[in-house]
Amino acid sequence: MSKYVALLRGINVGGNKKVPMAQLRELLAGLGLSGVRTLLNSGNAVFAAEGTGPDELAKRIEAAIDQKLGQSVRCLIRDRVDIHEVIEANPFPEAASDGSRFMAVFTSAPLDPDLVAVHDPTTLDPDNIRLGDRVIYQWCRQGVLEAPDLRQFADKHWKVTVTGRNWNTVLKIGALLDT
């Protein structure tokens, strides 16, 4: 069985799209996923699945949340290897000491090089944004609220969905995937 994390976009943030974690765990278990655990209240669920790829898992989870909870929520799936590659490729090792100001913004698909050439997010803050493999790293030295909004940038310029997690959460997800 492979281990995955579901990263739900925009739930339980500022009172929007309420998805109780107990209901999410029950919903995922009802889809036949095993060992379901949630992390925090912001839409991170670790689970094991067999014989289903990430894209199919995302579609099934999105459909179940819409049908059972009445919420239209995008879901990005990463496997254990993906998360550990994100952690190992950290281009800002100094940021790891303040994980609440360091973001990993996950993309739903690889970025189109032609779109990135025209709309490169690193130009928003050249010293603090780096592109990775289906992730954008953002070191928010002055805090997340003061940093450029990569979600808005991606929504406007690229044909992908993004969802961000602070580095502390990424490390906790990695640890959960290892258990």
Q: How close are the terminal C-alpha atoms of the chain, in Å? A: 13
- Which residues partner with 46 through β-bridges? 5, 37
Last residue of a domain, one of 35, 60, 81: 81
Last residue of a domain, one of 60, 81, 102: 81
d(CA 93, CA 155): 28
Split into its structural domains, the chain has a count of 2
State pLDDT tens for residues 9-41. Answer: 987 655 667 888 899 999 999 999 999 999 988
Q: Does 33 lie in the same domain as 73?
A: yes
Q: Does 127 lie in the same domain as 64?
A: no
pLDDT above 70 (res 7): yes
> Which amino acid would we find at residue 46?
V
What CATH number did the domain enclosing 44 receive? Answer: 3.30.70.1280
Q: Domain of 71?
A: 2-81
Query: pLDDT value at position 13?
Result: 56
What is the mean pLDDT of the segment spanning 83-94? 96
Q: Does 24 lie in the same domain as 95?
A: no
Q: Does 43 lie in the same domain as 98?
A: no
Lowest mean pLDDT among 69-73, 95-99, 102-106, 131-135: 95-99
Last residue of a domain, one of 81, 107, 125: 81
Query: Whose CA is closest to 147, among 168, 125, 169?
Result: 125
Q: Does 67 lie in the same domain as 7?
A: yes
In a domain, 179, yes or no: no
Q: Does 68 lie in the same domain as 23?
A: yes
3-state SS track over the chain? CEEEEEEECCCCECCECCCCHHHHHHHHHHCCCEEEEEECCCCEEEEEECCCCHHHHHHHHHHHHHHHHCCCCCEEEEEHHHHHHHHHCCCCHHHHHHHHHEEEEEECCCCCHHHHHHCCHHHHCCCCEEECCCEEEEECCCCHHHCCCHHHHHHHHCCCCEEEEEHHHHHHHHHHHCC
Higher pLDDT, 116 or 159: 116
Q: Does 107 lie in the same domain as 77?
A: no
Q: Please give the mean pLDDT across all residues of the chain.
A: 92
